Amino acid sequence: MEEAYKGWRYVNTLLDYMFDEAKKRRENHVVAPRYIFRGVTQRFFTSSKSIQEYLKKNPGEIVSLIRCKANHFKYNLTEKDIEELGATAWVKAQRNYYRKVYGEFKKELSVWQNDSQLSPKDTLHSIVSHPNYQYIIPQYIRSGAAVRLFKQQNRTQNDYISYIRNLIAETKSRFPLDYSTYSDLEILADIQHKGGASCLVDFSTNFLVSLWFATQDYATSIEEMGYLYCYDVNTDAIEEDSLTILNKNKERNTIEELILETSKSTKFNGKESYKFWLWKPSNINSRISRQDSIFVFGIEKFLIKEHPVIVIPIPFEWKKSIQYVLKEYFGLYGETIFGDTSGLSTINSKTKPLKTQTQYFEESYLYQNIIEDNRFKGFELFQKGTSALLKAQYDVALDFFCSFEGTNYAYIQKLNNAVHYTERNYNVLMILVELFYSKGMSLRHSGRISEATTHYKKALNLNLNILHDRILDFSTYNSDEICSVPKGAISVRYATNKLFKILEDYIVLLYDSNHLFDAYMTLVDVLETLRESQTELPANMELLISTACNEIKVLSELMKNPRFREIDLIDTTDISTNKSNAFCKVLNIYFKQICSILHNKIDAISIEESEELSILNNSIRRAIESQEIIDSQGYKQQNSVFTAWNLCDIKSVTCKNLKGKPQIRKAIMYLTSLVEDCQKQIEGRKRQEIY
């Protein structure tokens, strides 16, 4: 729990820092920024200025490294001089200098933290404001090809282009079938993601994926900071940048043509800078898709100071906690980031620390027990069914699901009759939830409503059982037992998220098929089960379910359904929620007033002057006002909770069933129009997304 708490604080601190920096840089811009991200685990490069300053003061160090005479250098070394002395000596001098500066920096930082108990935000600002930070912050980004060519002396731009051209030609000649339809860029992207050195520099449109890359080395002995680059690529608002988005027409150009275009310098504010392309590839392989990859490339190294890049340092001590949060709450870890065989090789390379058996189990337990233990036969049938369902091939999907269920019928029956579930049983049960839910969707879209209802109900009940039993496991948890709370937490989180998706689809199905009483009782049963198991619900979920119950009750009253006569509306005033959903309160007042009108507790003729209408109007006014609140920093924050509520069915049934009672019908339609207007005002004032 402590690891999760620290991890969340660190992630929030990094986000706050990024937004604070973005605000400073965009004070005079109306257009919102749009960032891409790149995470690096440790610092492989230093500004040439820093190295020169250090070598001027300590020329003997570089001399001893390259075994040359001291009088060869004098005291006015340039970067070109050092490069000519040999790449190996240059790299060693770089690393020695960095370790010296960073070592001193770390000592001071640890003293600050121990003495003053700095918050994460204060720690980050202390790092950035430290005098030595200007020496340890990365100054530029280079592609893998540039790093590889760096080892050669007297290299030119032609050497760089020749290397890329030869790499593509060799790939096409050795693997003609695999790359016959690929463009030069697509070949390079595939090579890049399989570990090759290309001219492309990886970025991601996903902040969390890049954060994973910046913190993945927490288990190594190299205690160095990670860095997160946040690059604003909204070119509509960037007047001083030489970034150009590569359009579809140019994607098929040869890489030589594209790179040569970047060698033409352009002038901004009287300064020359090299052009860079920004390219978003199609999903060439699963890893590019999983990592939300986007690439920057050009002929020169990418200098940070020439582009609107925010560089965020990540202290080594934060990395483990951040990795914990990314894995446990966002499902980001090696196996999901690298989703192919090449990726499997990458995460098991000789530079990676050896995992214990416990780590292997915790990272892949959702799949390992099902596939390796062969608990399900013909698991590929389930996977094919899921694929067909995503393609809207419902009959095909249903055939695969039925075949899978039939193949494992005896085992499924054994699970259904079990009194107590083991840890591994829960993994299998979650697959069964997916099976029943997927079958329900396939049957529903095939028009077999009755069978679909049965399978939705199976999935829902099984989901509730998982939640109930797993939370009981937590309440009786003993640290000496084998049961793992973190692993159990994953199954609870999965079951909670899946529950509300199944519930939404199931209620709509019952609603559309006029099984209102079944829909009502299902919602009530879910509420009671969740309260009994003390499941932690998403904000306002209890209020939303209760409001849906009240809507069904009112709809049934209008339809004169006798099964609802003894059911009272649910009082939502006692429901405790994390946030107040003002619109749900308006709805519940509205539902109560409709019931009062139908039961002749309100004179329908004088509804416009009634006290109840005054209560509704005041509630509507407060709901609209509460949608916009000024926070402590002075920014407007708007209520982002669910407000879309379809009242068409109530209007339709009112018009149809109350034809003989025009005054009552008029009163209900009048109330409905007020509530719909309220919803429109709230929806219209909702905050727009930044992108």
Does position 103 have pLDDT exceeding 80, yes or no? no
The pair of three-digit structure tokens given for residue 586, joined into one six-digit string: 């308006």
Contact 97, 46 (CB under 8 A): yes
Cα(279)–Cα(616) distance, rounded to whole angstroms?
A: 54
CB count within 10 Å of CB 691 equals 9
Residue 540 CA to residue 583 CA, distance in Å, equals 11
DSSP 448-483: -HHHHHHHHHHHHHHHHHHHHHHHHHHHT--TTSS-
Find out whether 334 and 363 touch, Cβ atoms under 8 Å: yes
Instruction: Name the DSSP class of 374.
Output: T
Region 141-152: mean pLDDT is 73
Q: Per-residue pLDDT tens for 451-472?
A: 888 888 888 888 887 776 655 4
Q: Are 127 and 313 in contact (CB under 8 A)?
A: yes
Closest CA to 474 of 539, 535, 537, 541: 535
Is 266's pLDDT higher than 50? no
Q: How far is CA 491 from CA 5, 371, 469, 659, in A?
A: 20, 18, 11, 52
> What is the rounded CA–CA span in Å between residue 143 and residue 275?
15
Per the rule left: phi > 0, alpha: psi between -120 and 50, beta: everything else, 43 is beta
Most confident of the following: 169-173, 333-337, 375-379, 576-580? 169-173
Structure confidence at residue 14 (pLDDT)? 92
Q: How far apart are CA 341 and CA 148, in angstroms?
A: 24
CA–CA gap between residue 111 and residue 377 (Å, rounded): 59
- Residue pointed to by tokens 């389930």: 382
Strand pairing report for 271-273 and 266-268: antiparallel
The 10 Å Cβ neighbour count of residue 554 is 24
Q: Is it the case that residue 84 has pLDDT exceeding 50?
A: yes
Q: How far apart, in whole angstroms, are the C-alpha atoms of residue 560 and residue 180?
A: 67
C-alpha 610/C-alpha 625 separation (Å) is: 23
> Contact, 628 vs 685, CB < 8 A?
yes
Residue 691 pLDDT:
27
Q: Is the pLDDT of residue 39 over 80?
A: yes
Helices (H) and strands (E) in the chain, counts: 29, 13
Crossing angle for the helix pair 120-129 and 2-25, nearest 10 degrees? Answer: 50
How far apart, in Å, do the first and last CA atoms of the chain sit?
33
Q: Tell me the HSE value of 107 on the side-chain side, using a 13 A CA sphere.
A: 5
Strand-by-strand arrangement of the 243-245 sheet: 243-245, 276-279, 293-297, 200-204, 35-40, 226-232, 309-314
Q: What is the pLDDT of residue 152?
A: 60
pLDDT, average across residues 70-86: 51
Quote the CA–CA distance of 608 and 598 in Å, as a whole number.
Answer: 16
Residue 54's pLDDT band (boundaries 50, 70, 90)? low
| Burial (Cβ within 10 Å: 0-12, 13-18, ≥19) of residue 689 | exposed
**What gap in Å lies between CA 48 and CA 28, rounded to an integer?**
32
What tokens were used for 415?
Answer: 């699970």
Q: From residue 607, how far is each of 94, 589, 614, 617, 663 by CA, in Å?
A: 82, 14, 10, 12, 10
Ordered structural domains, the chain, with CATH: 1-11+31-42+143-338 (no CATH), 45-137 (no CATH), 357-522 (1.25.40), 581-690 (no CATH)
On the question of pLDDT at 541 being above 50, the answer is yes
pTM over 0.75: no
Integer Cα distance of 601 and 331 in angstroms = 54
Q: Is the pLDDT at 47 greater than 70, yes or no?
A: no
pLDDT of 313-354, one tens digit each?
Answer: 888 888 888 988 888 777 787 766 765 544 444 444 444 444
Task: Count CB neighbours of 212 within 10 A.
Answer: 23
Nearest to 189 by CA among 260, 254, 274, 283: 283
pLDDT at 101 over 60: yes
**pLDDT tens-digit series, residues 398-422:** 998 888 888 888 877 777 666 555 5
Report helix, strand or coil for 649: helix
Long-range pairs for 19-24: beta carbons < 8 A, 24 or more residues apart: 21/230, 21/310, 22/230, 22/232, 22/310
